[in-house]
Amino acid sequence: MVAAGTDRGQEVLAHLAAITGLPMAANCASAERAAAGEWRLVRHRWAGSLLEDALLRAPVAVLTVAVDAVAAAPAAESAATRVCPYEPVLSEADLAVLATASAGPGGGDSLATARVVVGGGRGVGGPEGFGALEELAGLLGGVVGVSRVVTSEGWRPHQQQVGQTGTRISPELYVACGISGAIQHMAGCQSARHIVAINTDPEAPIISHADYAVIGDLNQVIPALIAAIRARMPA
């Protein structure tokens, strides 16, 4: 039983494993049957910075696939997926829901699956500084992510935190603004295909991880970027 290693995939299979009493292995990069009831796995640990060889003993393997481990490919026609419709029988009690948090206005892409993430750190200076990042993210078709300092300060909600204790992202483009690039932050964004850093400090660790870096004040660079993008947009 295999699901994508997204927040949703992990949650659904963890529930399935708990209900059935089967073990579950999260974030697998590969899996092969070693013997009857035995599976040889390679799993991403520590936000993908470590690969673990593991042996899973279970009559049915319940696995999620690390999000960046397998390239997306259209299903081969010969291996057409068989769809088995399932109609659960639900009672009124099954439908009772307690809402404990709101996703906030806008909806759209989640941080984990967004193709573009505009990240903001302490350098943004305060909650009011995120308006420009939201605008840039909107123009690029992306979402805003933040460092832990930002959530600890209460500037933005924890759901937007990128990193070891936040969300792991793997966008096409990560624009890190006023973020130093601490190891715990990089653990969450090292799968980004391209990293662009905007930072006043040329020695900030994020610069050595970035494909492109703009050494400058984000309060000048981001408005200039927004203006340049708007100038290229059709009227």
Ligand X SMILES: Cc1cc2nc3c(=O)[nH]c(=O)nc-3n(C[C@H](O)[C@H](O)[C@H](O)COP(=O)(O)OP(=O)(O)OC[C@H]3O[C@@H](n4cnc5c(N)ncnc54)[C@H](O)[C@@H]3O)c2cc1C
Q: Which residues bind ligand X (CB under 6 A)?
A: 121-123, 147-149, 161-166, 178-180, 182, 184-185, 188, 198-201, 204, 217-219
Nearer to ligand X, 26 or 198 (CB): 198
Closest approach of Cβ 171 to ligand X, in Å? 16
Shortest CB 66 distance to ligand X, Å = 18
Residue found under tokens 């909650």: 127
Q: Least CB distance from residue 92 to ligand X, whole Å?
A: 40
Residue number, 16 or 182, with CB nearest to ligand X = 182
Shortest CB 208 distance to ligand X, Å: 12
* 173-177 and 212-215 strand pairing: unpaired
Q: For residues 11 and 201, which CB has a smaller minimum distance to ligand X in the complex? A: 201
